[in-house]
Amino acid sequence: MSATVLESVVRGRRRRAAHRRLVVATLAVLVAAAFALTLMAGQTFYPPGDVIGVILGERVPGATFTVGRLRLPRAVLAVVAGFGFGMAGVTFQTMLRNPLASPDIIGISSGASAAAAIAIVSLSLGGAEVSVLAIACALAVALLVYVLAFRDGVAGTRLILIGIGIAAIMDSVTAYVLSRAAEWDLQEATRWLTGSLNGTTWAEVLPAVIATAVLAPVLLARGRDLTALRLGDDTASALGVRVERTRIVVIVAAVGLIAFATAASGPIAFVAFLSGPIAARLTGVGGSPLVPSGLVGALLVLVADFAGQFAFDTRFPVGVVTGVLGAPYLVYLIVRTHRAGGSP
């Protein structure tokens, strides 16, 4: 390779790296701005000074309750859940080299939802008990899908098809349980299954925050190996990646993020599915997609929740708004795949 060509390659890499840093910084600023907006704006507007005072522990008439007890936990959960959904979704999509390989599609979110429906309707449980069962079932479904898809390794298409089948079974279980629910239980289960941040408390937020603080660094530490898996198992192995070990670690970490986020907020539709492709279009090729996808997920949940509260005549849960955004993209992706006659 001549010196001129080498210099051109280096310049190209530097430009892409600079562009990527700019995109990540811009996304971080947008998330911070959306977070601030959700704390200040609502039926009553509180100026930044009042909001900062509440966060610092000062007692501000009116704002202490509205911001400190209602808006702040909700906004923090929106960021944490969105970040977790975004990172976990792009982990599966990158590892399996398929944009359909999202926890929304391959049954993990459906498993958590089925467990929550059974806990609420059949076992008359609530609060932390529902969350624990949802987390356990999400992990169990992920393990089941992985075991059923394993045959001298895990092929992405096989895992996706098995995951779609498991998701259909879990959705059927949920529908059956809801059909036998009493009116009050049905309302509670439906609110949880839709994906909602209404009535968020710190008791629901803290487990998700702790899980994200523990599991997100695990994924980030495996970011280089995860990127290598895009090239295929053989190539990644030739580059020194311990493929199956890496796959198991990132699956456990990603499922943990999904499980804790779902337990806190319900299965907010399509955030895990949309975050990776949006981040990829913004950052371009190269580099780990984890942080950009997490920031996109956080921004999606913050904006969708704010829009659901104030942009329409009727208040909608955040899962309804993200579902409206995500469903057309899913149809587009399936149509594009069908026309191409192969993987997306």
Which whole-number Å values give the CA distances from 168 to 107, 126, 282, 336, in the listed order? 8, 25, 33, 23
Q: How far apart are CA 306 and CA 325, in angstroms?
A: 14
pLDDT at residue 36 in the model: 94
pLDDT tens-place values along the chain, 344 residues long: 566 766 766 676 778 878 888 999 999 999 999 999 999 988 889 999 889 998 888 888 888 888 888 999 999 999 999 999 999 999 988 887 777 777 777 888 888 888 888 888 888 777 778 878 888 888 888 888 888 887 766 666 777 888 889 989 998 998 888 888 777 777 777 777 888 888 888 888 998 999 999 999 999 998 888 888 777 777 778 877 787 788 888 888 998 898 888 888 888 888 988 898 889 888 877 777 899 999 999 999 999 999 998 888 888 889 889 988 887 877 776 676 655 544 44
Q: How far apart are CA 103 and CA 255, in angstroms?
A: 8
Question: Do the Cβ atoms of 267 and 319 come closer than 8 Å?
Answer: yes
Secondary structure class of 196 (helix, strand, coil): coil
Query: What are the boundaries of each domain within the chain?
Result: 20-340
256-289 per-position pLDDT tens digit: 898 888 888 888 888 988 898 889 888 877 777 8
67-96 per-position pLDDT tens digit: 888 999 999 999 999 999 999 999 988 887
Q: What is the CATH number of domain 20-340?
A: 1.10.3470.10
Q: How far apart are CA 73 and CA 126, in angstroms?
A: 19
Strand partners, 150: 154
Tokens of 61: 């008439």
